[in-house]
Structure 1
Amino acid sequence: MFSAHPTESGDSDDVEGVDPEEFQQYFITQGRFTAGVATIYAPSMITAEAMFQHLAEGFPVGMRFHSAPVVRLADAKPVHLGHVARADGAWRLYIFADQKDPTGGDSHFRGLCEFLESDASPIKCFTPAGADPDSVIDVRAVFQQGHRDLAVDKMPSVLLPKKGKLGLVDYEKMFCPDPKADDIFALRGVNRETGCMVVVRPDQYVSHVLPLHGHEALADFFAGILIDAE
């Protein structure tokens, strides 16, 4: 299609040419391929079976993490979720919260964060002593509520890690839907009622999708690929 010459409008006799409108539509449809991010990795040690893909249909397991616009909770700054992660070799755990109040005790999001703060957490198991708490597994959360409806200081400590020589709090781990753009939950097909976890490899490819209550499955996945901290 790239090498063929464009046809004139209504010229059905030019069988070797390409209709410009057809070419444009095909280019849009194949956008991820032309951008070089259409690779799909098969299941392996670092790419799980897509058992819970229905919880986040827009984040296919084995494919590049597809970014979306969000608003950072701490300062209401519009950002792209996929652009906030640095190329630092860390795994990303994106927690898409359920509909319940994330500060309430009956929230599955809250239960997951309590697990991640416990001694059984893969963060505690695989982060070397003295390293920043997000240096191996970087946890980030996306809420369904607006950024004006949530209080940063009431969030779990796993989303407010103290880092660096001075132990300063990192407030840039939490995000909300951008009111001026498409809602990320709708845009990426994330189940609003249950929420989910999306595990992303250091190379930004989706490694696993799990329900928020899948604590043991999350720990088992990381135990199969990471080395215990000493």
Structure 2
Amino acid sequence: MPSSPPHSLPRNARERQLIAQEAARLIAESGIHDLEHARRKAAARLGIASEALWPRLGEIEQALREHQLLFASGSQPGALHERRESAAQAMQFLQAFQPRLAGAVLSGLATGDSPVILHLHCDDPDAVQRFLHEQRIPAEARTWSLRLAGHSSKQHYPGCEFAADGIAFELVVLPEDALRQPPVSTDDGKPLPRATLTQLRQLLAQEQR
């Protein structure tokens, strides 16, 4: 059910919804893929500095679902399916690194420019780059900031990004301990949703029903 009109809500709830809707618009229209970055930019645009008035990331996801239903119902499902298929192929290719799918491709919010985000697990941070080089896959090194379960703050983790068949991939290399202590949300400390290749294939099978 669509959210209530902002003007009909109490002030705090109204500001949270305005930020969520602006963040959803930024993600849909401005090529921003990170929910936290979209939330912060939306709040700045609206002049709402107090983080106590900001929406949870789940509220932004809901606003994005509503935005896609209104403006992208014809194209979004196809883009999502294409990225899930590509993610499955990549996870099979990278199976030695115990990949987990994360982000919008897993949540179902991916659009035509969303990257496939894969968490790989290896205690040798350079192993993935070497593997891609051996396979003659050009990739650009990057780092990501994530907080793992059991840690009090974010840490920087290496990885790389590349494109294949017009789809962007982001590979984040985490230590093997992250299989038991996975990345957590900065909002509530709960583990971020992630999927194995088997779970992704189950999602793809459900899409065919």
TM-score, L = length of structure 2? 0.29
- Whichever structure has more helix as a proportion of its residues is 2
* Max Rg structure: 1
